[in-house]
Amino acid sequence: MFAAPKKGKEALLGDLAPIDRHSSLGESAYATLKDSLIRGAMQPGTKLTLRSVAQVLEVSTTPARDAITRLIGEGGLINAGPKTVIVPYLSLPDLDEITAIRLSLEGLAAEQATNHVTEAEIHELENLQERINRGLDEGRYTDVLDANKDFHFLIYRRSGMRRLVTIIESLWLRMGPAFNGLYPEFAQSRTGVSNHLWALRGLHDRDPAAVRGAIENDIRSGYRRLSSQLAAVGEQGGESRS
């Protein structure tokens, strides 16, 4: 059938080159699209066709197809019909589900990170928080959102759990488009600030439960604002068949 596994020849060179091979048109097309989605650069309902994506990304249909297929697989795009791929709407039930999962997973990641994070990294987090505050003051809300994302993922990555981070990313991917059209109302809130400060303190004190609690509060407060705005915007919520 398939090739049998080879004998594991041990690394004799001390694990010299961890060679990341993240280069291929398909890979970067995927990364680019994914980034657009997470950033909320694409409006829910936007229809993506193979050829239009290929054209925008300046590649042939093959890499474009790769990207779209993978994104559908993780729910970042959905099949809304026979030959129709769109950026998904986030319905309230969808938001509820994603929030529940986020609380579990980001809580876990935050907890785990507490024991691995270094002082230098905590300092880096403080810098990010500075950037958030400044962005809030100066009305640069895109910056706020970006820095907020960096803040969270810097913590999550310190969990040392790679797959966990990947899964969390796929959840943010699902939330991204919902922010579209919600600027700047959403980013204006300063409710997140105190949660971040609590998280920083917990990190510094090596108190996993405190960090988890802070992150959970942050997620919950985001949920409240987002769900009320979603309800206000109206009933455009589509099905979320994956």
Q: Decide whether 64 or 173 has the Cβ nearer to DNA.
A: 64
Please report how close the Cβ of residue 126 comes to a second copy at its closest, in angstroms.
Answer: 28
Residue 236 binds which entry of a second copy, DNA, none, CB below 5-8 Å type-dependent: a second copy
Q: How far is the CB of 78 from DNA (least distance, A)?
A: 13
Least separation in angstroms between residue 36's CB and a second copy is: 10
Q: Report the half-sphere exposure of 113 (CA within 13 A, side-chain side).
A: 30
Tokens for 56, please give them. 């925008």
CA dist., res. 206 & res. 114, Å (int): 6
The partner in contact with residue 77, picked from a second copy, DNA, none with C-beta cut-offs of 5 to 8 angstroms by kind, is none
Residue 173 interface partner, choices DNA, a second copy, none, CB cut-off 5-8 Å depending on type = none
Pair of tokens at residue 1: 């059938």
Q: Min. distance of Cβ 11 from DNA in angstroms? A: 14
Q: Which of 38, 85, 110, 128 binds DNA (CB under 7 A)?
A: 85
Select from 7, 83, 162, 163 the one that contacts DNA (CB under 7 A): 83
Residue burial 193-232, b: 16+ Cβ < 10 Å; e: rest: eebbebbbebbbeeebebbbbbbbbbbeebbebbeeebee
Helices (H), 58-157: 61-73, 92-114, 119-138, 141-157
Burial track 32-69 (b if 16+ CB lie within 10 A, e otherwise): ebbebbbbbbbebebebebeebbeebebeeebbbbbbe
Q: Is 4 exposed, middle or buried (0-12, 13-18, 19+ CB in 10 A)?
A: exposed
Q: Which is nearer to DNA, 85 or 117 (CB)?
A: 85
Which position among 31, 35, 43, 62 is part of the footprint of DNA (CB under 7 A)?
A: 62
**Minimum CB–partner distance for residue 143 and a second copy (Å):** 23
Q: How far apart are CB 233 and a second copy at their closest, in Å?
A: 12
147 binds DNA (CB under 7 A): no
Per CB under 7 A, 77 contacts DNA: no
Q: What type of residue sits at position 120?
A: A
* Residue 50 contacts which entry, DNA, a second copy, none (Cβ below 5-8 A, type-dependent): DNA
133-134-137-139 Cα dihedral, nearest 10 degrees: -110
| Binding segment (CB under 7 A) for DNA, from list 9-17, 24-32, 104-112, 227-235 | 24-32
35, 43, 51, 138: which one binds DNA (CB under 7 A): 51
Distance CA 76, CA 114 (A): 29
- Residue 162 binds which entry of DNA, a second copy, none, with Cβ cut-offs from 5 to 8 Å by kind? a second copy
